[in-house]
Amino acid sequence: MTIKMIATDIDGTLVNDNKEISPKTLAALKAARKKGVFVVLCTGRPVSGVKPYLEQLGLTQDENYVITYNGALATNIASGQVVVSNTLDYSDFTKLDSLSHELNVHGQAIQPSSDLYVTTPDISYYTVLDSFYTKMPLHYRPQAQIPTEFPMAKYMWADEPAAIDQALPNLPTAIKEDYYTVRSEGWFFEFLHKDAHKGKTTLELANKLGIKPHEILTAGDQQNDLTLIQAGFGVAMGNAIPEIKDLAQYVTADNNHDGLGLAVEKFVL
C-alpha cells in the first residue's frame, strides 16, 4: 500500500485532550511530509482556527492544503487560493436563520472570510466561545440588515445540547434533503451545501493532485468524520464513536496515546 495523502480530523484525532499534537504524532507526520506525502487537516474550523497546528507541522509554505468548515472549502495555505468550494448564499441564510428563530434555537452564520454573524442580540455562550477559540470576528446584525450578497461557508445552531435535542425533531424534511447536516458537537448542529463534507472535498482535492482514493489514509473519531473515513483507507481512533470504528479498515490507539502517529508509522513510513 502506497499512501500519498494523509487527511486527518483535528480534535480527538490529531490532538490529545489537551489540544496538543503529541511528539510521536508530530514526528510521524513531519516524516511523512518529508517523504512527499500530503498532510491535509480536515476541520470544522476556519483557517484562522487551525493556524497554530499548520505552523507546528510546517504546512504553511509550498504546496500544502487545508480543508475547512467541514468540507465547504479546500485552500492552498501559502497562497490562500480556494481550490474546492461548496458554499451557500443569501437565500440559504434567510431560510435557515428564520427556521432558527421559529424553533427557538440560537443560530450563527459563518462566511468564507471567517466572519461570524448572529441576528439576535441574545448571543449564545457557544457562539462567543466559537468566536474566541477560532479567532472569528463576531458581528450582530438584524436579519433585515444582512446584505443580499452574503456568501456562507455554513450555518450552525449553537446552543445548549438540550435546546438542539428539542429542535431536531421539528426539522423539516425539505431542509434535511436540501443540505448536508451534521451534529459536530453536542452544542453544534451544522447546515452545509449538499456537496460540502469532509469525504467529498478530500476526494476532490486528491483528484486535483493526481491522487487516487486507495492512496489516501484518512483518520477521524466523530460523526462529522463518517464521510472522511469512507474516502480512503480509514483509520478510526481508539476513542472514536462505534459508527466510525465499524466503517474503518483499522482501529488505532486513542488520541491520548499517539493513535494517529502509530497509524502513520505503520501504514505510511
Cα–Cα dist 42/178, whole Å: 23
Residues 61 and 105 in one domain: no
CB 69 within 8 A of CB 38: no
Taking Cα atoms as reference points, which of 51, 27, 2, 31 lies closest to residue 41? 51
**Which domain covers residue 141, as residue numbers?**
90-192
Confidence at residue 1, expressed as pLDDT on a 0 to 100 scale: 86
* 209 pLDDT above the threshold of 90: yes
Residues 212 and 172 in one domain: no
Residues 81 and 200 in one domain: yes
Residues 95 and 177 in one domain: yes
Residues 58 and 70 in one domain: yes
The CATH number of whichever domain residue 244 belongs to comes to: 3.40.50.1000
- DSSP conformation class of 255: T
Residues 81 and 49 in one domain: yes
User: Last residue of some domain: 171, 192, 213?
Assistant: 192
* 214 pLDDT above the threshold of 90: yes
* 148 pLDDT above the threshold of 90: yes
The CATH number of whichever domain residue 188 belongs to comes to: 3.30.1240.10
Catalytic residues: 9
Confidence at residue 61, expressed as pLDDT on a 0 to 100 scale: 86
Mean pLDDT of 7-16: 97
**Strand, coil or helix: 190:** strand
Confidence at residue 175, expressed as pLDDT on a 0 to 100 scale: 97
CB 77 within 8 A of CB 38: no
Instruction: Provide the pLDDT confidence category of residue 254 given band limits of 50, 70 and 90.
Output: very high
Taking Cα atoms as reference points, which of 36, 40, 31 lies closest to residue 228? 40
pLDDT per residue as tens digits for the range 227-249: 999 999 999 999 999 999 999 99
Number of structural domains found in the chain: 2
pLDDT per residue as tens digits for the range 46-75: 998 899 999 999 999 889 999 999 999 999
Q: Per residue, what are the HEC states of 103-114?
A: HCCCEEEECCCC
Residues 77 and 200 in one domain: yes
Residues 188 and 96 in one domain: yes
Residues 187 and 237 in one domain: no
Name the residue with higher pLDDT: 262 or 135: 262
Mean pLDDT of 87-116: 97
Mean pLDDT of 128-156: 95
Confidence at residue 108, expressed as pLDDT on a 0 to 100 scale: 98
Residues 147 and 171 in one domain: yes
Give percent above pLDDT 90 in the chain: 93
User: Last residue of some domain: 127, 160, 192?
Assistant: 192
* 23 pLDDT above the threshold of 90: yes
Taking Cα atoms as reference points, which of 63, 4, 29 lies closest to residue 232? 4
Confidence at residue 184, expressed as pLDDT on a 0 to 100 scale: 86
User: Last residue of some domain: 192, 208, 226?
Assistant: 192
Q: How many residues does the chain have?
A: 269
Cα–Cα dist 218/235, whole Å: 6
Residues 229 and 175 in one domain: no
Residues 112 and 50 in one domain: no
